[in-house]
Amino acid sequence: MTKAGYVGLIGRPNVGKSTLLNHLIGQKISITSRRPQTTRHRILGIRTTEGGQAIYVDTPGLDASERRAMNRYLNRTAQSVLAGVDVVVWVVDRPAWQPEDALLFERLKAVPMPIILAINKVDKYPDKSVVLPFLQAALDRFPFAELIPVSALRDINLDRLEASIMQRLPEGEPIFTQEQITDRSLRFLAAEFIREKLTRSLDQELPHALTVEIEQFREDPAITRISAVIWVEREGQKVIVIGKKGEMLKKIGQQARLALEKLLGQKVYLNLWVKVKKGWSDNARALQGLGYHDD
């Protein structure tokens, strides 16, 4: 009898949810960075083994602030995940609770499915005497199904986490084919990979103010041709993204092209444009036009 079901990865921004998803399925599909709220879309990562099929749902981090349209969208997506999964993995990145965790405890009280607590980034805490008391105290605070220290980045204990998840999935036939690793198109992944490089290269505020739209995606036998627009909110931001003598845009283009070639297993010709669309991140209609809608 095989197992199949959905696994929600939840937790504050930056704890390593997307890194965990990529390492659990063994291929990079969800973009990551040191900046909070890199993940803007719900994305599925599918892993099929002999034991069954686990479908991981990566989400934007639950965030308490709802000031702008983008934040409201991020929050809605994160919340809706809790409704449709069989197992929840709550990821934290240090052996201590944060003030915002109180909000999650509140939301999880009413959730019927098993909740596994994954303490990520244990590579940063080699001293077990820091982690063990936290685990004990966590059980006193909440009836977690299991507590598992892991390092997503260094692949520590991920097999144990996977076994624990698989054990708790319902019995059933696979929902996706064995080869499928995500529900998203290559076109979507291409836009995300470009946004990842932008997020990693640019200063604090800018990544929130930009988005990427694929204008052309053509797979020829020897090469994939991709043309993309980087939308920013103001003329000044355009200047920054392009950089002195176009150097910033060139660097971002090169990094994105290499990542895309790895994903596609083929040469990529990448053309990037920077254009201004005023106030897009604050305007729900503009967001929809660029593909940010609930799905």
Ligand X SMILES: Nc1nc2c(ncn2[C@@H]2O[C@H](COP(=O)(O)OP(=O)(O)O)[C@@H](O)[C@H]2O)c(=O)[nH]1
230 binds, among Mg ion, ligand X, none (CB under 5 to 8 A by kind): none
The contact pattern for ligand X, residues 131-160, with x = CB under 6 A and - = no contact, is: --------------------xxxx------
Q: Say which amino acid occupies 146.
A: E
Interacting positions 26-85 with Mg ion (CB under 5 A) = 39
List 3, 17, 168, 195, residue binding ligand X (CB under 6 A): 17
Q: Is 124 in the site for ligand X (CB under 6 A)?
A: yes
Return the number of the residue (45 or 114) whose C-beta is nearest Mg ion.
Answer: 45
- Minimum Å gap between C-beta 225 and ligand X is 29
- How many residues bind ligand X (CB under 6 A)? The answer is 22
151 binds, among ligand X, Mg ion, none (CB under 5 to 8 A by kind): ligand X
Kindly list the residues in this chain that would bind Mg ion in the complex (CB under 5 A). Answer: 17-18, 39
Kindly list the residues in this chain that would bind ligand X in the complex (CB under 6 A). Answer: 11, 13-19, 32-34, 38-39, 61, 120-121, 123-124, 151-154
